[in-house]
């Protein structure tokens, strides 16, 4: 009896240890993945800043170097498009549509075509190269694909079954770490990524955002992306500006989304006959046009637009047509097919539009820039909560919360009247369709 009892105790202890490892191993892998997203986001941000600085040093402000983008930018676009096509397919564009599409795909192999560690390397490297040659792109959208890829890989290593929830958590952590905006990361996950949000993913999203945010804070400290906005919207005198920024900003943002979708559909159909040569031709033409716009604007439209947007928020008005130039440069960079996001360029366009409207209404430049950003960004992505929350967190001034809400909702409402197809979700269907075509092509081969 004593031997049987001892054997039973050993079996129970072994079972308890196995249960403990089964519970804690996935958690440790998940925590490591979330911290990794924060660290990678910081590294990505530093590389992006260095790339932009290199471009400005290389091109200079006068003399023959001022016209160097006419050579450097189209060549850079072609190189990025070729590398993305040949070595990193699935890395093109923002990265947010890929993360959304991966949540709709059920097959692990289909997901691996748009979310993988290989694409993490390619997305970061090609976005940095794009910024180094003057593309009007941002790193924030790509960080979403990076975060989703890292977390999906963590799911594979940790044998976790909640792939859709982990993609959502990784995407939210990417936004939170990229902007140092934890609330915006959570709202983005609910409003833009989820659409059919599941309550049981709350813990995953919150934990991923917290750990990624702590890793980012540990390296960079606490900061506001655009500094601290000092201007406050006056209750009576500035409300015509709120209405104008919301309605006009939303309309212009919807126009960007509509043009991007129509042009990219036509390019995809045209490229189908000769994919690589025509892809490179489109990239080269777009790169040359971006270079010409950048030179015409005095170099203001190159890169993310962060410096211009921050200057406007701090009270320095932007040139009246800056938003038109940045709008066009951002559109060309997007349809060129190179990896790169539209978050930061869209905020710069919105700041420029608001700055111009501020001159018309005689309002403070900082206030006008904030409202323009809210209206235009909500119009582009059709996600009003994400728009005003991310701008509040990036500027550190909560006195304008009602005005920003109004501008964002007006922008969203106006955009819905013009286009009822949200940009990221429309683009995500392209990746879902590609996965379906790939599956259908494999069936005859297997037969």
List pLDDT tens digits, range 348-394. 999 999 999 999 988 888 889 999 999 999 999 998 888 888 888 88
Is the distance from CB of 275 to CB of 85 less than 8 angstroms? yes
Would the pLDDT of 200 be above 80? no
Q: pLDDT tens digits for 135-165?
A: 999 988 899 999 999 988 887 776 666 777 8
| 442 domain residue, yes or no | no
- 189, 220, 251 - which closes a domain: 220
pTM metric for this prediction: 0.89
Same domain as 302, residue 166: no
Q: Which domain does 212 fall in, by range?
A: 29-220
| 310 domain residue, yes or no | yes
- For the residues 276-288, what does the mean pLDDT come to? 95
Cα gap 310→319, rounded to integer Å: 14
| 390 domain residue, yes or no | yes
Would the pLDDT of 87 be above 70? yes
Same domain as 281, residue 212: no
User: What are the Cα distances from residue 286, in Å, to 135, 257, 279, 316, 330?
Assistant: 10, 17, 11, 30, 10
Percent of the chain with pLDDT over 90: 45
- 191, 220, 249 - which closes a domain: 220
Alpha helices (runs of H) in 60-113, residue ranges in sequence order:
69-86, 96-104, 108-112
Same domain as 211, residue 67: yes
Q: What is the DSSP secondary structure assignment for residue 201, as one 8-state letter?
A: G
Same domain as 280, residue 383: yes
Is the distance from CB of 225 to CB of 394 less than 8 angstroms? yes
pLDDT band per the 50, 70, 90 thresholds, residue 4:
low
pLDDT for res 366: 86
- For the residues 180-191, what does the mean pLDDT come to? 80
Same domain as 206, residue 296: no
Same domain as 204, residue 264: no
If one compares 443 and 214, the residue with the highest pLDDT of the two is 214
Q: pLDDT tens digits for 407-429?
A: 999 999 999 999 888 899 899 99
CATH number at 185 reads 1.10.3080.10
Q: What is the DSSP secondary structure assignment for residue 138, as one 8-state letter?
A: B
| 40 domain residue, yes or no | yes
- Of 44, 34, 169, 96, residue with least CA distance to 343: 96
Length of the chain: 447
pLDDT band per the 50, 70, 90 thresholds, residue 201:
low
Domain count for the chain: 2
């Amino acid at each position: 009896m004593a031997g049987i009892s001892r054997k039973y105790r050993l079996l129970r202890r072994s079972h308890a240890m196995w249960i403990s490892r089964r519970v804690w191993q996935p958690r440790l892998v998940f925590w490591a993945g979330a911290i990794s997203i924060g660290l990678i986001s910081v590294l990505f941000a530093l590389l992006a800043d260095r790339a932009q600085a290199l471009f400005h040093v290389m091109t200079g402000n006068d003399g023959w170097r001022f016209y160097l983008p006419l050579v450097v930018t189209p060549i850079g676009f072609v190189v990025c498009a070729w590398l993305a096509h040949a070595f990193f397919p699935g890395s093109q564009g923002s990265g947010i549509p890929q993360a959304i599409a991966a949540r709709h795909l059920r097959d692990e192999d289909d997901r691996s075509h748009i979310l993988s560690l290989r694409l993490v390397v390619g997305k970061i490297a090609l976005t940095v190269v794009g910024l180094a040659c003057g593309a009007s792109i941002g790193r924030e959208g790509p960080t979403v694909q990076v975060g989703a890829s890292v977390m999906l890989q963590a799911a594979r290593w940790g044998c976790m079954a909640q792939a859709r929830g982990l993609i959502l958590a990784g995407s939210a952590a990417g936004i939170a770490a990229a902007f140092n905006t934890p609330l915006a990361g959570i709202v983005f996950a609910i409003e833009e990524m989820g659409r059919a949000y599941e309550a049981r993913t709350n813990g995953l999203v919150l934990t991923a955002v917290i750990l990624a945010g702590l890793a980012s804070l540990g390296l960079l400290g606490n900061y506001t992306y655009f500094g601290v906005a000092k201007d406050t919207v006056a209750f009576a005198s500035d409300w015509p500006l709120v209405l104008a920024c919301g309605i006009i900003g939303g309309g212009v943002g919807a126009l960007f989304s509509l043009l991007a979708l129509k042009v990219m559909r036509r390019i995809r159909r045209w490229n189908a006959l000769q994919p690589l040569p025509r892809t490179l031709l489109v990239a080269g033409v777009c790169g040359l046009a971006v270079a010409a716009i950048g030179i015409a604007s005095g170099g203001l439209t190159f890169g993310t637009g962060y410096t211009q947007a921050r200057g406007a928020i701090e009270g320095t008005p932007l040139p009246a047509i800056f938003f038109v130039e940045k709008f066009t440069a951002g559109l060309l960079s997007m349809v060129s097919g190179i990896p790169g996001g539209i978050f930061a360029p869209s905020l710069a366009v919105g700041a420029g539009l608001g700055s111009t409207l501020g001159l018309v209404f005689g309002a403070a430049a900082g206030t006008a820039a904030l409202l323009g950003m809210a209206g235009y960004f909500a119009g582009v992505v059709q996600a009003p909560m994400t728009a005003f929350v991310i701008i509040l967190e990036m500027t550190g001034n909560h006195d304008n919360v009602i005005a920003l809400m109004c501008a964002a909702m007006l922008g969203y409402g106006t955009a819905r009247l013009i286009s009822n197809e949200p940009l990221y979700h429309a683009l995500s269907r392209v990746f879902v369709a590609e996965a379906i075509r790939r599956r259908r092509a494999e069936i005859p081969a297997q037969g």
